[in-house]
């Protein structure tokens, strides 16, 4: 009696496994990227809340934010300010392992920006915090 598999049987099994992997991998990568975007969006919302808490802090002498608009007396905020005042422990990193950025546009609008998946050549996430009056 013969035991084991022949070389042809093993080759066919490997070919079938290869075909299944090639069919499933694009979907798997899409799901992983989608979960990273969801995680980045959640992180961005948390950073927005932290920036607004920083603005509203009654113990610091800052103007209150009116109608959801972010104000900081004309001074740009950095993550180092938030770390110094103990709102953050360290500069946040997005799911693609890039540091988040705080960006103020020329119109005064403040954004929290994730550089995102740079291999795709796009900014993956920008969340508006508010505007300076």
Q: At CB < 8 A and 24+ separation, what contacts does 94-98 make? A: 94/40, 94/43, 94/124, 94/125, 95/36, 95/37, 95/39, 95/40, 95/43, 96/36, 96/40, 96/124
Does 3 map to a domain? Answer: no
Does 28 map to a domain? Answer: no
Distance CA 18, CA 36 (A): 26
pTM greater than 0.85: no
Distance CA 110, CA 72 (A): 10
Which pLDDT tens digit goes with each residue over 92-128? Answer: 998 888 898 888 877 777 888 888 766 665 656 777 8
Does 15 map to a domain? Answer: no
| Residue 43: CATH number of its domain | 3.30.700
DSSP string, 42-92: HHHHHHHHHHHHHHH-TTS--PPP-TT----TTPPP-HHHHHHTTS-SS--
Does 106 map to a domain? Answer: yes
What is the Cβ-side half-sphere exposure of residue 21, based on CA atoms within 13 angstroms? 6
| Cα 5 to Cα 2, 9, 10, 14, 17, distances in angstroms | 9, 6, 7, 13, 16
Does 107 map to a domain? Answer: yes
Q: Which domain holds residue 56?
A: 36-131
Cross-strand partners of 112: 102, 127
If one counts the domains in the chain, the total is 1
Which pLDDT tens digit goes with each residue over 12-67? Answer: 999 999 999 999 888 888 898 889 888 988 998 999 888 888 877 767 655 554 43
């Amino acid at each position: 009696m013969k035991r084991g598999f022949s070389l042809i049987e093993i080759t066919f099994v490997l070919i079938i496994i290869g075909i299944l992997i090639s069919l499933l991998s694009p979907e798997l990568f899409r799901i992983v990227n989608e979960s990273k975007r969801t995680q980045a969006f959640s992180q961005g919302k948390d950073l927005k809340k932290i920036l607004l808490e920083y603005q509203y802090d009654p113990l610091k002498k800052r103007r209150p934010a009116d109608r959801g608009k972010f104000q900081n007396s004309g001074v740009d905020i950095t993550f180092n300010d938030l770390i110094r005042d103990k709102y953050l422990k360290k500069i946040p990193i997005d799911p693609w392992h890039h540091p988040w950025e705080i960006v103020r546009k020329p119109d005064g609008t403040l954004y929290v920006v994730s550089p995102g998946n740079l291999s795709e050549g796009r900014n993956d996430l920008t969340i508006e915090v508010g505007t300076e009056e």
